[in-house]
Chains A and B, each alone.
Chain A
């Protein structure tokens, strides 16, 4: 009796054709043929090779077939002798569907079914081969279309910034060239955002991207329809003002700065940023040169402080070149050991004793000679070299102070710390390692941070200062009074000392107004239980005035100039210092 129906052949065909890969189709065919015919073994042979085996391994079947394609029987370990039936399929790619069964050989009807299955498989494989070729062709076409689309997209993206929708540098320069070709006065504003990096770092790139989009809207809103704004890259924008001389561009630039100063609502927070703008004008130079000039002017604006507008002047190129050279020299200076430290004493104004010294970094370059810290420290900050330089200063000053303290045990050491160092996650560990290496007591070390560093991001500063406070070192606010300290933050900042900026006693004989400001700061410090240091004491009159006002410590050329370490002890005399009075 038949155990199968012709419907099963339809099912066999459907199952084999349901898969799209040839090897899967063959596997399905072998499994189904074995199951329907109740065979222990199933296989497909193509070109005399066993391609797929079911119920045994391919190697075992190859060995059992012994090179024959259609033996009557085969013997497999554990199964004994099996009756073999096979049916050929295909015309192009010829093969055979084989089953091997224990017990009874296939009866004529079963062989007929096997034959039909084999032919079905051949048909399915031919179809799959055609479909595969067609699919491959279609995929090629789709890939080509996708590539064309991607190319168009990339061309479009090359001309339009996907984030802001503004033209890119490429399109901006094309538009600038068009304007210049008309020989009309054209100004270019190069806009660089201030404090954008802080937003990106603290709120994340997504917030940074959102902010750039909002800035783009504000920039556009400040312009005439005939003007063009573009995103040049990162947090840099450019503006093309048509029919506009350079001096006429200044108020526009100022308007942009004012618009960008207004807080932005980003990621659920109010974000304060600013902008520095450089202006260059044409016609005359080539479009890319005008944009480059505006960039150089912007750079100068940046060095003058946030929110500045600077018109390009030709000598700025030379300055920019000089800065590039300086940067290169600076990079080498640390490796070549060109930095030195000088130390300037801090004097107790009431007793006249030296209680500590401030380490001041000096750079003596073989070609340049002495380079002012005011020139190289900002660049070191900008390039990140400040981290290595600051670590060198910290360790060198620490070792020197430890050496001095063998003869002057109470001597303290003040070390300047940049904003970048403060937020470096490694900084507290660096300080801790220095303390361990030098065996300096933490209270002998005061780290000086400028007011602007602390106030640009007070929340982060407080967190970083807490780490330092945990180590036991003191923290001083340097140049106090020049920034815009919020009194509420001052109360919350974990600091120990205020260093009043020299600007308040710049006159040989301080005026009443000068003294009033200093008195206020000293009283504020007392209230907050902070030590005060007055910088820049140049005259005896200043020293007396500061002493009478109650300043704890003083520093300045009148008291002692910065000296090389080998000369320090001699310049101090033998008086025993007594540090710290709050």
Chain B
């Protein structure tokens, strides 16, 4: 367990982003840090990079410009955005500082097998932030499975009054190993299997938004048998059989796992919610028990729909999520925004689509800086008690 801290900082409030696609980690880190910090001492710096950059040299430049209380956090990704650009391989840094901000962190290590406890542990940093407006950011390891338990644990500590946002680290969709970063001026730890809680405090409003752009398709199905993220039966039938039948394909669709994943990306499941749907991306099918495998929970007994979308709806959702976060600021001008965008949306949108999505966000923010990463699962909770999402874009706006 470790903590980072930044008590209420001073000076003019600012929000900056930087981005680099240089291949040398030290040079890339320096370029991104220069863009994000621009000579200012940050309260917090978020470092999002593609796998391969997770070496100490990446942080040299940002550490050199950090103050004694600066918090440096982040993770590896399946793509990152910042400084108005999107990259698959690169480094994006987002930072803010100035008067009225407070940041505290807590790292829960060895999260696998105790995700709920780790979520609660990570959220415990909130207790040290007494600001009028608070939010809890969570960065998890995208490969721990059952990530909804992290959110349950965090909610048990944060309660309903504190919005949750964040995402799970990625490794360019290879699902081998992800890394999380945590530290400060004296050094940055490069970790795996952790949950990092980042308590954000501000004397001005914080706004969280989330949207996905998917619609229900066909009749609802009852999840008659499931275990965490593994859906065994839909309407009493093997879930894989139902899914393949609805798509009009046979078992051969699973011959090539990558092709099946690509196919399933386009047809996620949707859990009906009062405030919309929680999307569940299907990552695999298991011929042995004819189940569907999702990376977040699909509760037994729930109603579920096959979901469909189109290019424009997905693009619109980026603007919608951004707009929700801005609106939640209650009319106070936005300073900047963090973005947690699902890596599966990248696949669905394609390279050109991602650029369009980025433009959509930029257009909606109208010059307000933003940065973030493409995640292996998004965390966003404003209403209700649930907050684990897939195929969704979650935003956190600061005023």
Contact = CB atoms under 8 A, between A and B. Distances in A.
Interface string B373-396: 000000000011110000000000
Interface in B188-235: 222-224
Interface string B151-175: 0100110011110000000000000
B383 A35 contact: no
Contacts of B299: 8, 11, 35
Interface string A78-122: 110000000000000000000001111000000000000000000
A31 interface: yes
A167 interface: no
Nearest to A3: B272
A367 to B, nearest CB: 69
A57 B272 contact: no
A175 B94 CA distance: 89
Contact of A104 (B160, B222, B223, B274): B274
A7 B222 contact: yes
Main secondary structure of the interface of B (DSSP, over half): loop
Contacts of A165: none
A7 B223 CA distance: 8
A10 interface: yes
B160 A79 contact: yes
The size class of the interface chain B forms with chain A is: 20 to 34
A11 B159 contact: no
B236 to A, nearest CB: 10
B162 A78 contact: yes
B303 A4 contact: yes
B303 A11 contact: no
A41 B302 CA distance: 20
B155 A55 contact: yes
B385 A38 contact: yes
B275 A38 contact: yes
B226 to A, nearest CB: 9
Contacts of B162: 78
Contacts of A77: 161
B363 interface: no
Interface in A126-157: none
Interface string B258-302: 000000000000001111000000000000000000000001111
B385 A31 contact: yes
Contact of B160 (A2, A4, A9, A41): A41
B136 to A, nearest CB: 12
The size class of the interface chain A forms with chain B is: 20 to 34
A39 B384 contact: yes
A34 B383 contact: no
Contacts of A2: 272, 303
A42 interface: yes
A40 interface: yes
B384 A40 contact: yes
A38 B300 contact: no
Interface string B77-103: 000000000000000000000000000
Pick the most buried of B222, B275, B301: most chain A CB atoms within 10 A of its CB. B301
A55 B161 CA distance: 8
Interface string A1-39: 111110111111000000000000000000100110011
B134 to A, nearest CB: 8
Given A7-B222, A55-B159, A40 B302 contact: no
A10 B161 CA distance: 30
A451 B222 CA distance: 91
A196 interface: no
A250 B275 CA distance: 99
A416 B66 CA distance: 72
B95 to A, nearest CB: 26
Contacts of A76: 160-161
Contacts of A102: 383
Given A2-B303, A4-B303, A54 B385 contact: yes
Contacts of B303: 2-5
A104 B301 CA distance: 23
A9 B275 CA distance: 21
Interface string B304-347: 00000000000000000000000000000000000000000000
A225 to B, nearest CB: 61
Contacts of B161: 56, 76-79
Contact of A7 (B156, B273, B274, B301): B301
Contacts of B155: 55
A103 B301 contact: no
Contacts of A9: 301
B222 A5 contact: yes
A380 to B, nearest CB: 57
A11 B227 CA distance: 12
A104 B275 CA distance: 10
B377 to A, nearest CB: 18
A103 B272 contact: no
Pick the most buried of A3, A34, A79: most chain B CB atoms within 10 A of its CB. A3
Contacts of B223: 7
A5 B221 CA distance: 9
B385 A34 contact: yes
B160 A38 contact: no
A42 B156 CA distance: 11
Contact of B385 (A3, A55, A57, A104): A55
B385 A4 contact: no
A79 B224 CA distance: 35
Contact of A11 (B273, B274, B300, B384): B300
Nearest to B216: A1
Nearest to B226: A11
Nearest to B300: A11
A8 B274 contact: no
Contacts of B386: 35, 38
Contacts of B156: 54
Contacts of A103: 274, 383
A42 B384 CA distance: 10
B385 A5 contact: no
Pick the most buried of A7, A9, A41, A101: most chain B CB atoms within 10 A of its CB. A7
A35 to B, nearest CB: 5
The 9 lowest CB-CB distance pairs between A and B, nearest first, are A78-B161, A7-B301, A40-B160, A8-B301, A11-B301, A38-B384, A55-B160, A3-B272, A38-B274
Interface of B: 152, 155-156, 159-162, 222-224, 272-275, 299-303, 383-386
18 contacts: A3-B274, A3-B303, A4-B301, A4-B302, A5-B302, A7-B224, A7-B300, A7-B301, A9-B301, A12-B301, A38-B383, A38-B384, A38-B386, A41-B160, A78-B160, A79-B160, A79-B161, A103-B274
